[in-house]
């Protein structure tokens, strides 16, 4: 008598879908995510190799070519000193995006770690940190940025510091909330019962589950930090000339907005497209995280 065969033969056994196939299906369902990732990929290439897109220098001054409208020689026209606006927008992408990414990374590291510690251990330290965060969040972000950069002075390092301080409370709250949710779960109690100390439990179990929340928050907040950075640059409190920066180019073009609107128009469009692409990507990641 032949042995009883398995109800699922190899041909009938379910096949595990690869991660790449799942990602491709998701892109098909969410065209906004595909659009956002495409723009982000283009921006990454611009940041890494801006020379691939223009042979012009963003610093070359030519008074004879001042305030030239867009043409074949100057795709975005020239500014009041004859510098090529297209080159300044391209090279300004590197400065702007690196400042935003760096300041947001600092905020994520500090806010995420302190928030996780506060939520996991609780107590009077959690109460004090929570009140400090509430005070900082009571200020509108742009107003707080103006106060910090106004007191410290307009400089790139002060701009990064201001953007980091503005966003630390947002990462603190999301990490604290995640740590609070994980601290009371069964697997955490089991880890304590087998003799693991609190720091080990925090590192091995809680932080690993809080990290995805912080990463999603990073992408969600990136459009906001980009707009604040551009606004501070427009107010003259960000990157200082002659360094190309989208906000600084906007500030430079305000004096000739009626005579040469292209100086402010193109960096403004760059900020808008970048913020929109980052928003689409961040929202898609947030929806995915909520479903999981």
As given in the structure block, the two tokens for residue 33 are: 């995510």
Q: Is 123 left (phi over 0), alpha (psi -120 to 50) or beta?
A: left
Structural domains of the chain in order of their starting residue, each with its CATH number: 42-47+77-291 (1.10.3720.10)
C-alpha distances in Å from residue 131, one per residue of 101, 124, 142, 147? 27, 11, 21, 20
Torsion sign (Cα): 254, 240, 70, 279:
negative
What are the tens digits of pLDDT across the range 181-220?
A: 877 777 777 777 777 777 777 777 788 888 888 988 998 8
Residue 86 has pLDDT above 90, yes or no: yes
E strand or H helix at 128, and its extent?
A: helix 123-137
Q: Is 153 left (phi over 0), alpha (psi -120 to 50) or beta?
A: left
Residue 30 has pLDDT above 80, yes or no: no
What are the tens digits of pLDDT across the range 135-173?
A: 888 899 999 999 999 999 888 999 999 999 999 999 999
Q: How far is Cα of residue 224 from the mean position of the Cα atoms in its chain?
A: 8
What are the tens digits of pLDDT across the range 260-289?
A: 999 999 999 999 999 999 888 888 877 776
Q: Are 95 and 243 in contact (CB under 8 A)?
A: yes
What are the tens digits of pLDDT across the range 35-63?
A: 888 899 999 999 999 999 999 999 988 88
Whose CA is closest to 172, among 218, 230, 118, 105? 118
Give the CA count within 13 Å in the CB-facing half-sphere of 98: 14
Residue 1: predicted pLDDT: 47
Mean pLDDT of 14-40: 70
Cα–Cα distance measured from residue 292 to residue 289, given in angstroms and rounded to the nearest whole number: 5
């Amino acid at each position: 008598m032949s042995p009883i065969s398995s109800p699922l033969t190899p041909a009938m056994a379910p096949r595990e879908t690869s991660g790449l196939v799942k990602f491709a299906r998701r892109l098909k369902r969410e065209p906004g995510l595909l659009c956002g990732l495409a723009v982000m990929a283009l921006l990454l290439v611009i940041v890494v190799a801006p020379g691939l897109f223009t042979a012009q220098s963003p610093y070359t001054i030519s008074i004879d070519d001042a305030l030239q409208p867009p043409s074949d020689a100057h795709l975005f026209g020239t500014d009041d000193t004859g510098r090529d606006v297209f080159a300044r927008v391209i090279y300004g992408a590197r400065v702007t995006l690196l400042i935003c990414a760096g300041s947001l990374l600092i905020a994520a590291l500090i806010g995420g770690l302190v928030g996780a510690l506060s939520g996991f251990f609780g107590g009077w330290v959690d109460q004090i940190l929570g009140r400090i965060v509430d005070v900082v969040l009571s200020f509108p972000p742009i107003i707080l940025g103006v106060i910090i950069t106004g007191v410290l002075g307009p400089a790139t390092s002060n701009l990064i510091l201001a953007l980091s301080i503005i966003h630390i409370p947002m990462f603190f709250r999301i990490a604290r909330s995640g740590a609070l949710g994980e601290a009371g779960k069964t697997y955490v109690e089991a880890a304590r019962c087998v003799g693991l100390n609190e720091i080990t439990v925090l590192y091995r179990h809680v932080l690993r589950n809080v990290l995805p929340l912080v990463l999603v928050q990073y992408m969600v907040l990136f459009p906001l930090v980009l707009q604040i950075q551009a606004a501070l640059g427009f107010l003259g409190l960000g990157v200082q000339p002659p360094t190309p920066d989208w906000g600084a180019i906007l500030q430079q073009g305000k004096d000739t907005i009626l005579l040469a609107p292209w100086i402010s128009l193109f960096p403004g469009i760059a900020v808008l497209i970048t913020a929109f692409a980052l928003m689409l990507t961040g929202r898609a990641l947030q929806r995915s995280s909520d479903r999981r």
